[in-house]
């Protein structure tokens, strides 16, 4: 078979900080033990099929720029899909990472009917299964694209037309089957068009009820086929809709509680979606961990000057480190991982630019992980937090938390003892310096 990435040796290896100009990992060393586990097993890196192989480099102002021969419309769609699949598995093997993720339409061409789409996908899923067995690559998550086709312009599960809802059900059932067949660790639902453009034509409560019904059906179907992976919702505040219902982790959490779906879904947190919702990435991660819904991460970042989803490769340890710290502190991923839902810039047209993007991002995550390990081992951050909340462990604090005192009793006591609480420092600057010292010193 002819190789697509023919300038790249296989696989990209760890060469350390003194690596020369070639493609090599400077920090990511899969076998290095971090906090008692192999780095590869902690980071669980995945490559996305859609931006890396299905997207031709187009944007809303211009056509595709990339050298991706299988996007040529003159090719037979199934031949093109096989060629794309070969290139995808070649790339992931040469990058030396374990996982990938895909939407139905990334892997197989949509047919004229649902039946034809299913036949196409089944054939390519079988072929993917063979390639996975040959290479040891695993499926981090599968998902259905319920946002590109014009039928979904007004949403999928939240569409005013139940026929669209049923069409979405067919796609999701099929992709749940495919994910199950391929031994996927998770199944993702990103509600790209589950939202509204204007409230003038929208019944929000009706649409929320529809979405909850859809998700309940997904849970029921998952159980009926014995799929044991995790169901993940991917929050995003807007784009393409003006408002997306899965706005952020707290909104998703409230929705799950309201509709009796708690425990059935976790979240797939994307760095760029977190920042678009007005939060930091670490805020979203910490919220999800605290509330038992942390599942997986899409590691792609935004651009601070742009107000949309630029899907860039992570390249700032500073931006990743606090989130990675919280993930490591909570014991790490279970079924989740770091998926590169990343896009090259449109001008990055050399074939090996895809390697440069991923390698830099993976090294960034690896370094954030080493910093997090150091911070946890030093214990300064946790020590400061323990000290700050120390008074809740006994005496008045413990009595309050245990529910042993009323507002009136507390008030009487505060008056009788003439309480004069003494403010203490939050030590923010000192703690910021602790983080930077770890970033600067870790090897």
Positive/negative CA dihedral, 161, 164, 168, 169: positive
In the complex, minimum distance from the CB of residue 341 to ligand XUL, in angstroms, rounded to a whole number: 5
326 touches Co ion by CB under 5 A:
no
Structure tokens at 320: 């990743």
C-beta closer to ligand XUL: residue 264 or 298? 298
139 forms beta bridges with 100
- Binds 207: which of ligand XUL, Co ion, none (CB < 5-8 Å by kind): none
Catalytic residue among 51, 103, 180, 283: 103
C-beta closer to ligand XUL: residue 39 or 146? 146
Q: Please report which residue ranges of 98-161 form alpha helices under DSSP H.
A: 104-107, 114-135
C-beta closer to ligand XUL: residue 71 or 296? 296
* Active site annotation includes 122: no
What distances in angstroms separate CA 159 from CA 147, 195, 201, 254, 411, one per listed residue? Answer: 11, 9, 12, 22, 53
341 touches Co ion by CB under 5 A:
yes
CB atoms within 10 A of CB 126: 12
Distance CA 272, CA 281 (A): 8
Q: Which residue has the tokens 């989803």?
A: 309
246 touches Co ion by CB under 5 A:
no
195 forms beta bridges with 244
* Active site annotation includes 67: no
> Judged by CB under 5 A, which stretch of 278-286, 334-342, 368-376, 417-425 contacts Co ion?
334-342
Q: Which residue has the tokens 């030590």?
A: 427
**Axis crossing angle, helix 317-329 with helix 281-290, rounded to the nearest 10:** 10
- Applying CB under 6 A, among 248, 309, 319, 326 the residue interacting with ligand XUL is 309
In the complex, minimum distance from the CB of residue 55 to Co ion, in angstroms, rounded to a whole number: 13
| The Cα angle at residue 86 between residues 1 and 14, in degrees rounded to 5 | 95
Give how many residues touch ligand XUL by CB under 6 A: 9
Inter-residue contact 365 to 314 (CB < 8 Å): yes
- Applying CB under 6 A, among 90, 341, 363, 373 the residue interacting with ligand XUL is 341
C-beta closer to Co ion: residue 8 or 276? 276
Find the binding residues for ligand XUL in span 279-298 (CB under 6 A).
298
Window 263-302: contact mask with Co ion (x via CB under 5 A): -------x---------------------------x----
264 touches ligand XUL by CB under 6 A:
no
- Applying CB under 6 A, among 98, 222, 236, 301 the residue interacting with ligand XUL is 236
Residue 308: which of 244, 246, 238 has the closest Cα?
238
Distance CA 435, CA 443 (A): 14
- Applying CB under 6 A, among 40, 104, 194, 234 the residue interacting with ligand XUL is 234
In the complex, minimum distance from the CB of residue 145 to ligand XUL, in angstroms, rounded to a whole number: 7
Catalytic residue among 106, 177, 248, 309: 106
Positive/negative CA dihedral, 122, 124, 125, 130: positive
270 touches ligand XUL by CB under 6 A:
yes
The residues annotated with a catalytic role in the active site are 103, 106
């Amino acid at each position: 078979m002819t190789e697509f990435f023919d300038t790249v040796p296989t696989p990209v290896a760890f060469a350390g900080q003194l690596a020369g100009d070639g493609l090599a990992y400077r920090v990511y060393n899969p076998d290095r033990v971090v906090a008692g586990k192999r780095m590869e097993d902690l980071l669980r890196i995945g490559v996305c099929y859609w931006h890396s192989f299905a997207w031709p480099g187009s944007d809303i102002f211009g056509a595709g720029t990339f050298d991706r021969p299988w996007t040529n419309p003159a090719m037979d769609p199934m031949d093109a899909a096989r060629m794309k699949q070969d290139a995808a598995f070649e790339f992931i093997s040469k990058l030396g990472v374990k996982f990938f993720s895909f939407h139905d339409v990334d892997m197989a061409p949509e047919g004229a009917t649902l039946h034809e789409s299913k036949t196409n996908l089944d054939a390519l899923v079988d072929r993917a299964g063979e390639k996975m067995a040959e290479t040891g690559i695993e499926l981090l998550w599968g998902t259905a694209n319920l946002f590109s086709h014009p039928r979904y312009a007004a949403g999928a599960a939240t569409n005013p037309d139940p026929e669209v809802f049923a069409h979405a059900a067919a796609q999701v059932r099929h992709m749940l089957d495919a994910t199950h067949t391929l031994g996927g660790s998770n199944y993702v639902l990103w509600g790209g068009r589950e939202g509204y453009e204007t409230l003038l034509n929208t019944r929000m409560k009706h649409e929320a009820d529809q979405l909850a019904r859809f998700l309940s059906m997904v849970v029921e179907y998952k159980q009926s086929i014995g799929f044991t992976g995790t169901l993940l919702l991917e929050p995003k505040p807007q784009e393409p809709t003006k408002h997306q219902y899965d706005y952020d982790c707290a909104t998703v959490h409230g929705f799950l509680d309201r509709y009796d779906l708690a425990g059935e879904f976790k979240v797939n947190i994307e760095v760029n979606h977190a920042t678009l919702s007005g939060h930091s990435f670490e805020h979203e991660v910490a919220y999800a961990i605290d509330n038992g819904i942390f599942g997986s991460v899409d590691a792609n970042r935004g651009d601070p000057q742009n107000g949309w989803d630029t899907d860039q490769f992570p390249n700032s340890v500073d931006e990743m480190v606090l989130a990675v710290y919280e993930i490591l502190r909570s014991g790490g991923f279970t079924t989740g991982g770091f998926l590169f839902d990343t896009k090259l810039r449109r001008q990055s047209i050399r074939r090996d630019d895809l390697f440069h993007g991923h390698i830099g991002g993976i090294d960034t995550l690896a370094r954030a992980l080493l910093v997090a390990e150091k911070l946890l081992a030093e214990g300064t951050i946790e020590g400061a937090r323990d000290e700050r909340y120390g008074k809740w462990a006994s005496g008045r604090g413990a009595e309050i938390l245990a529910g042993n005192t009323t507002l009136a009793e507390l008030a009487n006591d505060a008056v009788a003892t003439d309480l004069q609480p003494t403010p203490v420092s939050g030590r923010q600057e000192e703690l910021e310096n602790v983080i930077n010292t770890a970033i600067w010193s870790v090897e």
